[in-house]
Amino acid sequence: MKITNRHNLPAALVTAVSRYSAPPYQDPHHLRVTELIGPPQIRVLTHKRWDDMEEDVVDRIWALLGSAVHEVLHQGRDANTLTEEQLTLQVGQWTISGHPDLYEQDGTLSDWKVKSVWGIVYGDRGAEEQQVNVYAHMLRAHGFPVNRLQIVSILRDWQQRKAQYDSNYPQCPENTRTVPLWDSATAQAFIEARLMLHSAASDGQLPECTSEERWEKPTTYAVMKGTNKRAARVLDSDADARRWAMTNLKPEEKYCVDVRPGENTRCQSYCRCLPWCAQGQALVAAGQEGDDANDTMP
């Protein structure tokens, strides 16, 4: 992978970012935990196109901050903890590798994240639960009992002023939440199911990314009344929007339905496999076409 520097950032930052851009394992049957739970299509395309890929320094800054937090955590370990310990798990022909962030003597396993505050307010947390439970399964396989799971998040864009005026906003720049702990049978079944998908992808049966994996946001329909800039109501279909307008607006009130096209956020903004992904290119093109006509009159 080539690291670009479109904004002419300092050389030291470029070097640091480059060190944390680890290539995939040469063995196609060796997966990191993040690859295991991630889309098989992205893993296969990454293996095939790694040398052709480009990523800008700007796009890796937040990942670098996360790596820095993990390094500080590792330096703060004591005799009763394990931090960033390299673990492997063998399942058939597959080897799974991972580095659980923090394991404590009482059986608590913590996974540390650096994320936007909106990842707490709106975020989908399914992948986080999967990741930390795979780590727990790996620890148990190596003889370490796990009794409790938690996600510790450092909120990089937290604002004290918002916390003072919004009780639903996180009240400090750190958030810890407990995660359901799967039993061994559930974790093993999850891992085997994921490996079946990756096996099929490696054999040429490349599955398309699901809506969840694409971070899909659905199209919505906003009822705009008169010259108001804010929507009177936002609904899931054009028919529902018109029905609401006919029921709730006066006959003489003018309105239009503003179509707010959905998007596949990962494809459009975050997937470095996009240049070689037929599915992603088709979805991005469809989204761009949808932007050309986003108002419908009553």
- Tens of pLDDT along 205-244? 888 999 989 988 888 999 998 888 889 999 999 999 999 9
Residue 250 has a pLDDT of 86
Of 202, 236, 258, the last residue of a domain is 202
- 289 assigned to some structural domain: yes
- Quick count: other Cβ atoms within 10 Å of Cβ 263? 22
The reply to whether 163 and 226 lie within a common domain is: no
Q: Are residues 80 and 161 in the same domain?
A: yes
Q: Are residues 178 and 110 in the same domain?
A: yes
- The number of domains in the chain is 2
Q: Looking at the structure, do residues 71 and 183 belong to the same domain, yes or no? A: yes
Instruction: Give the number of other Cβ atoms within 10 Å of residue 42's Cβ.
Output: 19
Contact 108, 147 (CB under 8 A): yes
Does residue 174 share a domain with residue 61? yes
Q: Which residues of the chain have pLDDT under 50?
A: none
* Residues ≥6 apart with Cβ < 8 Å to 122: none
The pLDDT score that the predictor gives to residue 294 is: 54
Looking at residue 153, its pLDDT comes to 92
pLDDT of residue 214: 92
Taking only the tens place, the pLDDT of each residue in 121-154 is: 766 668 899 999 999 999 999 999 999 999 999 9
Domain range for 69: 26-202
pLDDT at 96: 97
Shared-domain flag, residues 108 and 174: yes
Shared domain check, 77 and 194: yes
Residue 292's pLDDT is what? 55
Is residue 5 assigned to a domain?
no
By C-alpha distance, which of 209, 223, 183 is closest to 264? 209
pLDDT at residue number 83: 83
Q: Are residues 227 and 94 in the same domain?
A: no
Find the CATH number of the domain harbouring 53: 3.90.320.10
- 6 within some domain: no
Among 180, 202, 224, the domain-final residue is 202
Domain shared by 88 and 167, yes or no: yes
pLDDT of residue 99: 92
User: Is the same domain home to 135 and 56?
Assistant: yes
Question: Do 103 and 181 share a domain, yes or no?
Answer: yes
Angle, CA 197 vertex, CA 192 and CA 200 arms, to 5°: 120
In angstroms, the Cα distances linking 178 to 119, 126, 131, 213, 288 are: 16, 13, 14, 23, 40
Residue where a domain terminates, one of 171, 202, 233: 202
Beta carbons within 10 angstroms of residue 247's beta carbon: 7
47: in domain = yes
Hey, what amino acid is at 110?
S
* Cα four-point dihedral sign 109, 114, 118, 122: negative
158 alpha-carbon distance from chain centroid: 19
Q: What is the value of pTM for the model shown?
A: 0.85
Residues 138 and 194 reside in one and the same domain:
yes
